[in-house]
């Protein structure tokens, strides 16, 4: 057959129409289109949307997390549960037990000695749920020879001995483990497709050449059918044609903020290379540092704030005046909101993952997952943006709620313009489409991955339910 014809679908603007697709484009939208020699997809009044774009996730980390031991809240609830999980886990091909998602509410602050008390028999590495920290036990420290390690992220006690805590050392850790092969992305591509996500932005900073090559190969082989935009693409050199470069990821790490001069130089180098910056900002201090640096470098179109986990009310207007955009993750409120309400001072609760006030001030806003550190499901993220409810049912910053249609639009921007005008279903648009059960009002009132009936990517039907 040549092309596709969606018969009688509902579009977000309220129209009922047929939609014709040829090759990788929508070519015709209108009532009662004549059925040619093409595959017919009955709509029956169900909603047809452009595919969703997740503007901040980590593809290889998602794949690795799928074969790791869950070590965080909701999966394990205390030291004994974590001890059992590590004891019964099968080691990976590298001989290690790999855990992810750890939070201090499970067994307190971890270092090598604390991890030894939980599991000392085999090398263990456990990632904090923030993604910024790995902790290894003594057996792991010996395998890595941490005593001789020169990486600045290897934490040491006052006597100079490694504590077992490794800050932002993912690439170093992989190299130290013997260049362990990057994980296969087949399951990740399938899950993204099932959820209706047709474009992603990988937010991993400073991607190694091997990681870039692996992502390009996954795209080329069809393992990863989504369009892939990279924040960690190198400043110089050509990217493979299967990938596109976004702003340069700059991490303002909670464990050690850079000095102002160093940040100004980093942002200036990106701007000089004709690239915007995407700056990881979680704390108020990091946000203040970024704004001070941008006062010196100037803002380039496309400069964006990643996460914006705590934004004081007085700063909202500053973000708008500077022309910055924000890529944030309200899914964390649904997943960890009760922890935030316990650990963050009450006076700052309204500052958590702001959304409504940013939109009202004219700040372009994109929603995303930060998977695997946050929930991947975009429909859960949309519900969280609208309700801002924690697992226990508390509301975090009711004034920051987004109208459901506004939240959905924040998943429909182009990868190179997150928070920009939402893509629509119109002639000439890319044939990356999602058919959802229910009309537009149903979809907005009760977003759910269970509504996804079909996903078309590049003009091909890749998922049916």
At 170 the pLDDT is 84
Model confidence pLDDT, tens digit, residues 220-270: 999 999 999 999 999 988 899 999 999 999 999 887 899 999 999 999 999
Look at residue 128 and give its three-state secondary structure.
Answer: strand
pTM value is 0.92
Tokens, residue 213: 């090559």
Greatest alpha-carbon pair distance for the chain in Å reads 79
Torsion angle in degrees (nearest 10) through CA of 220, 222, 224, 228: 40
Model confidence pLDDT, tens digit, residues 81-123: 999 999 999 998 888 999 999 999 999 999 999 999 999 999 9
Look at residue 154 and give its three-state secondary structure.
Answer: strand
Residues 164, 112: contact at Cβ < 8 Å? yes
- What CATH superfamily is the domain 1-51+426-465? Urease, subunit C, domain 1 (2.30.40.10)
Mean pLDDT, the chain, rounded, equals: 95
- Whether 136 has a pLDDT exceeding 90, the answer reads yes
At 215 the pLDDT is 97
The domain made up of 68-176 has a fold known as: Diaminopimelate Epimerase; Chain A, domain 1 (3.10.310)
Going by C-alpha positions, the residue among 52, 61, 54 that lies closest to residue 372 is 61
Q: Give phi and psi for 248, each to the nearest 5.
A: -85, 125
Torsion angle in degrees (nearest 10) through CA of 228, 103, 385, 249: -30
User: Which residues, in sequence order, are CB contacts of 115 under 8 Å at separation 6+?
Assistant: 124, 126, 135, 136, 137, 138, 164
Helix (H) or strand (E) holding 26: strand 25-30
Tokens, residue 87: 């004891």
Q: In whole angstroms, how far apart are CA 288 and each of 141, 305, 316?
A: 36, 12, 12
DSSP secondary structure, 396-416, as one string: S-GGG---HHHHHHTTSSBTT
At 180 the pLDDT is 63
Would you tell me how many other CB atoms lie within 10 Å of the CB of residue 176?
17
Model confidence pLDDT, tens digit, residues 158-214: 999 999 999 988 888 888 887 667 899 999 999 999 999 999 999 999 998 999 999
* Class at the top of the CATH hierarchy for domain 53-58+183-422: alpha beta
* Domain pair 53-58+183-422 / 68-176, same fold: no
Domain ranges of the chain: 1-51+426-465, 53-58+183-422, 68-176
Residues 243, 216: contact at Cβ < 8 Å? yes
Look at residue 144 and give its three-state secondary structure.
Answer: helix
At 400 the pLDDT is 98
Strands 433-436 and 452-457: antiparallel
At 254 the pLDDT is 80
Bond before 372 cis per omega within 30 degrees: yes
CA-based torsion, 348, 349, 352, 356: positive or negative: negative
């Amino acid at each position: 057959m040549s092309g596709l014809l969606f018969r009688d679908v509902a579009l977000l603007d309220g129209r009922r129409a047929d939609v014709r697709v040829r090759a990788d484009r929508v070519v015709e939208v209108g009532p009662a289109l004549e059925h040619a020699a093409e595959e017919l997809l009955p709509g029956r009044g169900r909603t047809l949307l452009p595919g969703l774009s997740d503007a901040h996730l980590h593809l290889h980390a998602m794949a690795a997390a799928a074969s790791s031991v869950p070590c965080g809240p909701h999966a394990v609830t205390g030291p004994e549960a974590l001890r059992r999980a590590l004891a019964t886990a099968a080691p990976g091909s590298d001989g290690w037990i790999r855990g992810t998602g750890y939070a201090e509410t499970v067994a307190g602050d971890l270092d090598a000695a604390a991890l030894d008390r939980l599991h000392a028999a085999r090398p263990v590495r456990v990632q904090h749920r923030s993604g910024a920290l790995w902790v290894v036990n003594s057996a792991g420290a010996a395998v890595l020879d941490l005593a001789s390690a020169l990486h600045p992220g290897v934490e040491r006690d006052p006597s100079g001995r490694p504590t077992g805590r490794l800050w932002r050392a993912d690439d170093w850790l992989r190299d130290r483990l013997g260049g362990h092969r990057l994980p296969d992305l087949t399951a990740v591509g399938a899950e993204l497709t099932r959820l209706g996500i047709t474009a992603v932005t990988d937010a991993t900073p400073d991607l190694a050449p091997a990681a870039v090559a692996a992502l390009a190969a996954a795209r080329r082989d069809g393992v990863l059918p989504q369009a892939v935009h990279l924040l960690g693409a190198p400043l110089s050199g050509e990217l493979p044609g299967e990938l596109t470069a976004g702003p340069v990821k700059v991490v303002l790490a909670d464990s050690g903020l850079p000095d102002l001069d160093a940040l100004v130089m980093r942002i200036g180098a990106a701007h000089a290379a004709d690239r915007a910056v995407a700056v990881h900002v979680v704390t108020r201090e990091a946000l203040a540092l970024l704004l001070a640096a941008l006062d010196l470098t100037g803002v380039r179109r496309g400069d964006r704030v990643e996460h914006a986990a705590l934004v004081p009310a007085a700063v909202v207007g500053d973000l708008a005046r500077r022309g910055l955009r924000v890529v944030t993750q309200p899914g964390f409120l649904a997943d960890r909101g009760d922890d935030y309400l316990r650990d963050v001072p009450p006076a700052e609760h309204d500052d958590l993952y702001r959304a409504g006030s940013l939109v009202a001030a004219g700040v372009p806003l994109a929603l995303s997952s930060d998977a695997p550190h946050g929930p991947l499901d975009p429909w859960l993220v949309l519900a969280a943006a609208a309700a801002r409810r924690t697992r226990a049912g508390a509301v975090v910053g009711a004034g920051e709620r987004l109208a459901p249609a506004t939240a959905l639009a924040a998943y429909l921007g182009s990868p190179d313009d997150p928070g920009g005008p939402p893509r629509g279903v119109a002639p000439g648009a890319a044939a990356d489409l999602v058919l959802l059960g229910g009309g537009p009002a149903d979809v907005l009132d009760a977003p759910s991955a269970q509504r996804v009936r079909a996903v078309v990517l590049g003009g091909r039907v890749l998922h049916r339910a």
